[in-house]
A and B are shown apart, each in its own frame.
Chain A
Amino acid sequence: MSWIDAILQGTLLGGQYALYAAGLSLIFGVMRLVNIAHGDLIILGAYIALVCVEMLGLHPLLSMIIVCPTMFAIGYWMQKLVLNKTLGNDILPPLLVTFGLSIILQNVLMEVFSADSQRLQSGVLDTASLQLTDELTIGWLPLICFVTAVIVIASLQFLFYRTTMGMVFRATSDKAEIVQLMGVKKDRVFALAMGIALAVVGIASVFMAMRTNFDPSVGPGRLLYAFEAVIIGGLGNIWGTLLGGIIIGVSQAIGAQINPGWQQLAGHLAFLLILIFRPNGLFPRTKD
């Protein structure tokens, strides 16, 4: 039964990783941009949530009402003012600039909030659980996080394949120069995509801050999980991202079940194995 429990807990943890990865997948899918600052932006969102909770007295889940629009605005203007200027045929400039942004974010957060570890207290949700059987119990918070991840990914899928905005995203992803001949401002499309991606990051930030301790230096670790989930699922495949997150989560849970020290290693090993046998991920969608 403990193995079933491990798989169940790992699956729920996968929802958290999928939330980290969904924004990254969206950004890569629309503008072929690998955002090295993604993990630090998750941490930025967590600090914005912390400020909302401490100054306004909001429940962490309610803080999303402020965190998500704020992160959308940060993403929109960051793309419009900085990253759009780096996009072109060469993939190196955006990589270098987002790497620089990552360093800047870490240092600014360190300066403003110090290196002290923080966590959002969510009251009764911290410990509330659902008894499935005599031996199987799941926490309400991981369950809410997982359900949210499924809703977010289903919404992104709907946005991409059932709306005009999604049609424009896909066309821009295909041919960014030609889309301008349709009357579309590609820079605005990129800014919107980054805004939406960071709004999703805002959701991931709040759940991360409720479930684990964070400080300004832990962003690169979140980036790693996000990368692994995106690559396992297949670049540009939104549902694949959820599967990628679940595979990492379950691998970690099984690793921890064998030996508590193997938790992170098991996740990375699963990633490595998939890279060896399916270098393009399980369900790749990209055409180049």
Chain B
Amino acid sequence: MSNHVLNQPILYTQKLTAFYGDFQALFGIEFHLNIGETVAIIGSNGAGKTTFLRSITGLLCNEPSSVKFSGQPIGASSPDEIVKLGIAMVPEGRQLFPSLSVEENLRMGSLSGRSGQWDLRNIYELFPVLKERRHHGSMDLSGGQQQMVAIGRALMANPSILLCDEISLGLAPIIIKDIYRALPAICSEGVTVVVVEQDIRQAMAVSDRVYCFQEGRISLEGRPDELTTEAITHAYFGLEDAVS
């Protein structure tokens, strides 16, 4: 959890909706993110978590004022404009570039041209194993190492906000622990973080606030220490007695 949260929203959404053709995936999402905090978004498959991140990063186009970053409407901005403003994403499934080496993948992250503390040296300090394997093809790495590349690539954009989509998906518990161990170091550099997680316990452990999505709507919001297991269960599954 972050120690230097300012009660000042850096990003918020107003009545955010999203569609895939005729199918509506998000219904009037009201979300805010304060400077320096770490927010977790939990929810089951198909709840709209990834769609929400895609809307923020411009991969899905919206009404301009439905997403605001530092007061500026960005809902209709393109992904390349949004990353230049300072919002970077670690996409679900890592999405590394297979034709590129580890170092080239990382360098791709710096193409947004934003200056800041994150460069190759700092990324290699954060994830030393990547320095040893920098000339390898990105697909030659293990799943955990690939996730480190994906996180490093996003950090190379020197973002104000880092959006992490299911970074623990498909990884062994010990590797997930390694990945999440990097989070405090990232937050301490002043990066505001949003993590989308299906692992409720992990989400609660790393976040200052939690949003739960259910069928394209926010079903719960609060600080981890305020939320009861029953409330989370109900918000996550939509059932009172889904888990005991």
A residues with a Cβ closer than 8 A to B are 164, 167-168, 170-171, 173-175, 177-185, 287
Contacts and interface: CB of A to CB of B under 8 A. Distances in A.
Interface string B60-82: 00000000000000000011100
B97 A183 contact: no
A171 B83 CA distance: 17
A168 B111 contact: yes
A174 B100 CA distance: 9
Interface in B89-111: 89, 91, 95, 97-100, 104, 107-109, 111
B100 A171 contact: yes
A175 B138 CA distance: 14
Contacts of A183: 80, 83-84, 111-113, 157
A171 B100 CA distance: 7
Nearest to B93: A178
Given A180-B59, A181-B79, A183-B157, A167 B104 contact: yes
27 contacts: A167-B104, A170-B99, A170-B100, A171-B100, A173-B99, A174-B98, A174-B99, A174-B100, A177-B59, A178-B91, A178-B97, A179-B97, A180-B59, A180-B78, A180-B80, A180-B83, A181-B57, A181-B59, A181-B88, A181-B89, A182-B111, A183-B80, A183-B111, A183-B112, A183-B157, A184-B111, A185-B80
Contact of A182 (B58, B59, B98, B112): B112
B98 A287 contact: yes
A192 to B, nearest CB: 14
Contacts of B97: 170-171, 174-175, 178-179
* Interface size class of chain B, counting residues whose CB lies under 8 Å from the partner chain: 20 to 34
A158 to B, nearest CB: 15
A237 to B, nearest CB: 12
Contacts of B100: 167, 170-171, 174
Contacts of A170: 97, 99-100
A182 B109 contact: yes
A182 B78 contact: no
A188 to B, nearest CB: 9
A167 B107 contact: yes
Given A170-B100, A182-B157, A183-B84, 8 more contacts: A170-B97, A171-B108, A178-B97, A180-B58, A183-B113, A183-B157, A184-B111, A287-B99
A170 B109 CA distance: 14
Nearest to A188: B80
Contacts of A167: 100, 104, 107-108
